[in-house]
Amino acid sequence: MTGKEVTLFIHFVGLAMTLGTGFAFMFLGIAQSKMDKAEGEQFMLKALSLGRMGDIGFVLMILTGLYMLMPHMSNLAQMPLMHVKLTLVVVLIVLVGLIHRATKKAKQENGGPALDTLRKLGTLSLVSTIVIVLMAVMQFN
């Protein structure tokens, strides 16, 4: 395997971890909705540790993505879909920061409104990640 292939492989592993976490939380949220409020909150508080996988995947994606972007820097002006993708990556970085803040608050408060905030932020981050992947596929097709 070449260095480029190894980097792309790591990038895809990071993508799988990041998207997998988003989808996992979506389905855990569905399971939570079938529980009574107190039980559902405790369930989700325990499930928050899954977020570490998403964090690791996101870091892998950012690092390998930046590395793979280097050869394209001179052509970036002619890559409008890449501009959209990179803008959404910045949005996703902000969302991840907000998710971390809400997670800390939910743990401190043992649930509460921060869990609802997390659900909304999680939905936005999942949609953002899917659109980022779509932009990459369309750009490099």
Q: Is 132 in contact with 92 (CB distance < 8 Å)?
A: yes
CA-CA-CA-CA torsion sign (74, 80, 85, 91):
positive
**Residue 88: count of CB within 10 angstroms of its CB:** 20
pLDDT at 40: 95
pTM here is: 0.91
Residue extents of the structural domains in the chain = 3-140
Range 114-119, long-range pairs (CB < 8 A, 24+ positions): 115/41, 115/44, 115/45, 118/44, 118/48, 119/29
pLDDT at 140: 84
pLDDT at 135: 95
Query: In the chain, what is the straight-line distance between the N-terminal and C-terminal CA atoms, in Å?
Result: 22
pLDDT at 141: 78
Low pLDDT (below 50) residues in the chain: none
Phi/psi region, residue 79 (left: phi>0; alpha: psi -120 to 50; beta: rest), is: beta
